[in-house]
Amino acid sequence: MVVFHCFASTLNFAFKVWDKGYFTSFTGIVTYPNAGDLREVVRNAPLDKIMIETDCPFLAPQKFRGKTNMPAYVVENAFEISKIRNLNVLDLEKFLERNSIRFFNLTS
């Protein structure tokens, strides 16, 4: 399995990634006001192909911009993605959990 860590590319490239069955992982960049193109990627992403990450100590979500990123801030990425997708954050959490279990070959 392949994950595109800290995905920040174009929608066109994202479609190529997903077509190969790969995952895209999103950081705090998705919360930045000028990240409209990345939010469009998130809006189009297959829910079974997304992950979230902190990329600590870098790329803190907008709410903590300029500070050292912390693992606890990853929830801000989830909240933003759930808003973009018009999806309850708990429903998004289920997709993220399933995707992580599948990617890392874990048992639930």
> Does the pLDDT of residue 107 top 90, yes or no?
no
For the chain, what percent of residues have pLDDT higher than 90?
98
The Cα 40–Cα 53 span in angstroms is: 18
On whether residue 94 sits in a domain, the answer given is yes
The Cα 101–Cα 80 span in angstroms is: 22
Q: Which domain holds residue 90?
A: 3-103
Tell me the average pLDDT of the chain: 97
On whether residue 108 sits in a domain, the answer given is no
> Does the pLDDT of residue 4 top 70, yes or no?
yes
Backbone φ and ψ for 3, nearest 5 degrees, come out as -125, 135
* Residue 23 CA, distance from chain mean position: 9
* CA gyration radius, the chain: 13
The structural domain count of the chain equals 1
Average pLDDT in the 95-104 region? 97
